[in-house]
């Protein structure tokens, strides 16, 4: 058994109760095997794989808050500081009832490689809570965010760890958390990204993950002889990533025909009306089932099913493991050409392999959705120099970063005789920089 397999076995034993984390580690290790082989004795001596799979630290804490009826409620808060070899820990905060240590560890692990791929100096971390913002009043959300930050503020800072948004954490939550950090620490610094424009946020950050996904997808298709123009695009999710992915897909000439939320999905064969979706989701915080009130000819279906629609390009932008083997089979049967992940780990390993084996261009989230965190790093730069850049300037930088990531992962895969395997390319290219820094820093 080689070094990679031995460590994978150890991690599987030690964290048998963390399925999402094990899924992320397995996927990365499988594609790193050839890279490790070239330097096996050095990496083993330096325990690179043991160190890269064990977070620097994992912080868990109680988050008590008072609901509108006066009752004290308690949630669990998390921050996993995974690896800061190439920069301060950086990664979002997820607020969703499904959050647990396994979920935060998988996200933190992915973030280490993703952040490396951006080419910017940011390490990897992730956090959040099992708090569900859905159905809560603004005051309750504020009470939760203030209590969460009262504890979290001890561990973060502009040069140590810089959280941001993720599922359930948008502009409103970041605002409340920033206010509490400033109040307790007495520091006006770029400790969070995704901030409002009036207090240090960056233009384009709201759109960045979705737009970045499309800049990369466009480059991928161009390098294979076409482009988004004229393509039928299926998008899942109806949150920050999905909405701005759909917006840029339309700007590039694609027709977006689906969106989904955790209750169901819409099919609008004439192309989704994004103004309606923004009103439903961003303004009213309502369910996607409302969509047919705006567009009576569209269909709303309860439950899963978004991948059953005929499309050329599929962009999963909701959550982990939302595109499974049967979905992959359906997509292939319907002639899908490319699947690019806007969400983190939305495609199961089995489904990923099926897509790749059937000639579908597949780009994993750690490359395809890196535009969000890349723009967060640009927000950090602007905060450090106390300046703000124009929309076009940030957008152009984002475009350059995403096309650069595509070519970087394409080249990395080719270098190891895996041309076209962007999963391998992303893992190899992301790993290289982190390992280089880890070796330079010695045993720490
Ligand atoms: P949002 O909270 O804005 O939106 C999430 C969307 O996904 C909602 O439509 C939500 O539906 C749906 N969803 C969430 N959980 C589930 C579930 N268990 N089953 C079905 N649908 C679900 O989050 P984001 O758009 O920010 O994040 C989406 C994905 O993109 C996540 O994987 C996130 O980690 C990833 N990502 C986000 C980045 C960012 O900058 N925001 C950057 C890079 C990746 P409902 O409203 O019903 O809950
Ligand atoms: O998964 C992700 O990359 C994010 N949620 C964004 C993280 C960030 O720090 O902007």
Ligand 1 centroid from CA 390, angstroms: 27
Helix (H, G, I), strand (E, B) or coil at 163: strand
373 lines ligand 2 (CB under 6 A): yes
Confidence band, pLDDT 50/70/90 cuts, at residue 97: very high
pLDDT digits (tens, 9 = 90+) for 351-377: 999 999 999 999 999 999 999 999 999
pLDDT grade, residue 225 (50/70/90)? Answer: very high
Residues 369 and 107: their CA atoms lie apart, in Å, by 13
> Distance between CA atoms of 324 and 318, rounded to whole angstroms?
13
**Ligand 1 site, residue 368, Cβ cutoff 6 A:** no
Give the model's confidence band at 411: pLDDT under 50 very low, under 70 low, under 90 confident, else very high: very high
Q: Tell me how crowded residue 303 is: count the other CB atoms within 10 A of its CB.
A: 10
Report d(CA 408, CA 426) in Å as an integer: 8
Q: What is the pLDDT of residue 215?
A: 99
Residue 338 pairs in a beta bridge with: 313, 361
Residue nearest to atom 4 of ligand 2 (CA): 92
User: How confident is the prediction for the chain on average, in pLDDT?
Assistant: 98
Q: Is it the case that residue 199 has pLDDT exceeding 90?
A: yes
Quote the pLDDT of residue 1: 86
Mean pLDDT of 204-229: 98
126 counts as catalytic: yes
* C-alpha distance across the termini of the chain, in Å: 26
Ligand nearest to the CA of 288: 1
Query: 151: number of CA atoms within 13 Å, CB side?
Result: 19
Q: Which domains does the chain have, with CATH numbers?
A: 3-52 (no CATH), 57-188 (3.40.50.10860), 208-363 (3.40.50.720)
> If you measure from the C-alpha of residue 132 to the centroid of ligand 1, how many angstroms do you get, rounded to a whole number?
13
Q: Mind listing the pLDDT tens digit for each residue in 80-90?
A: 999 999 999 99
CA of 92 to the centre of ligand 2 (A): 4
Closest CA to 126 of 94, 170, 88: 94
pLDDT on residue 388 = 97
**Crossing angle, helix 371-385 and helix 391-415, to 10 degrees?**
130
DSSP secondary structure, 242-270, as one string? HHHHHHHHHHTT-EEEEEE-SSEEEE-TT
Catalytic residue among 90, 126, 281, 366: 126
Q: What is the pLDDT of residues 138-184, one digit of tens each?
A: 999 999 999 999 999 999 999 999 999 999 999 999 999 999 999 99
State which of 204, 318, 368, 402 you would mutate to test the pocket of ligand 1, scoring each by most atoms of that ligand within 8 A of its C-beta: 318
Return d(Cα 297, Cα 295) in angstroms, integer: 6
CA of 115 to the centre of ligand 2 (A): 9
Order of all β-strands in the sheet with 161-164:
57-66, 72-83, 123-129, 89-95, 161-164
Residue 437 has pLDDT above 90, yes or no: yes
Give tens-digit pLDDT for 58-73. 999 999 999 999 999 9
Nearest CA to ligand 1 atom 44: 343
Query: Does ligand 2 have an atom closer than 6 angstroms to the CB of 166?
Result: yes
Judged against a pLDDT cut of 90, whether residue 281 lies above it is answered with yes
User: At residue 304, does pLDDT exceed 90?
Assistant: yes
Q: What is the pLDDT of residue 84?
A: 98
């Amino acid at each position: 058994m080689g070094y990679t397999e031995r460590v994978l076995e150890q991690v599987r034993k030690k964290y048998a109760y963390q399925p999402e984390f094990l899924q992320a580690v397995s996927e990365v290790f499988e594609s790193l095997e050839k890279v490790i082989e070239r330097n096996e004795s050095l990496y083993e001596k330096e325990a690179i794989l043991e160190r890269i799979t064990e977070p620097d630290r994992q912080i868990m804490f109680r988050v008590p808050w008072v609901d509108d009826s006066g009752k004290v409620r308690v949630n669990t808060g998390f921050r996993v500081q995974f690896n800061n070899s190439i920069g301060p820990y950086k990664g979002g905060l997820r607020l969703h009832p499904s959050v647990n240590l396994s979920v935060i560890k998988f996200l933190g692990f992915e973030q280490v490689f993703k952040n490396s791929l951006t080419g910017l100096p940011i390490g990897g971390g992730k956090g959040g809570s099992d708090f569900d913002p859905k159905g809560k009043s603004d005051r309750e959300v504020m009470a939760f965010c203030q209590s969460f930050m009262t504890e979290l503020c001890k561990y973060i800072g502009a040069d140590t760890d810089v959280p941001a948004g993720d599922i359930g954490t948008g502009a409103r939550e970041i605002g409340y958390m920033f206010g509490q950090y400033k109040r307790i620490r007495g520091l006006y610094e770029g400790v969070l990204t995704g901030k409002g424009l009036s207090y240090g946020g960056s233009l384009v950050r709201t759109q960045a993950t979705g737009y970045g996904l499309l800049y990369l997808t466009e480059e991928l298709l161009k390098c294979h002889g076409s482009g988004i123009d004229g393509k039928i695009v299926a998008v899942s999710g109806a949150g920050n990533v999905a909405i701005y992915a759909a917006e840029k897909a339309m700007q590039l000439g694609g027709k977006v025909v689906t969106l989904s939320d955790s209750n169901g999905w819409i099919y609008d064969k004439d192309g989704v009306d994004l103004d309606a979706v923004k009103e439903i989701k961003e303004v009213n915080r309502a369910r996607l089932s409302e969509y047919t009130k705006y567009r009576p000819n569209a269909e709303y279906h309860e439950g899963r099913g978004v991948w059953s629609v005929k499309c050329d390009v599929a962009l999963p932008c909701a959550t982990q493991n939302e595109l499974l083997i049967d979905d992959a089979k359906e997509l292939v049967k319907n002639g899908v050409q490319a699947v690019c992940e806007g969400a983190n780990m939305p495609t199961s390993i089995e489904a990923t392999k099926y897509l790749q084996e059937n000639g579908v261009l597949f780009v994993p989230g750690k490359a395809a959705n890196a535009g969000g965190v890349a723009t967060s790093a640009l927000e950090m730069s602007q905060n450090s120099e106390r300046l703000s850049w124009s929309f076009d300037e940030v957008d152009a930088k984002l475009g350059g970063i995403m096309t650069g990531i595509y070519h970087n992962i394409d080249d990395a895969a080719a270098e190891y005789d895996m041309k076209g395997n962007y999963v391998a390319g992303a893992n190899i290219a992301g790993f290289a920089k982190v390992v280089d820094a880890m070796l330079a820093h010695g045993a720490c």
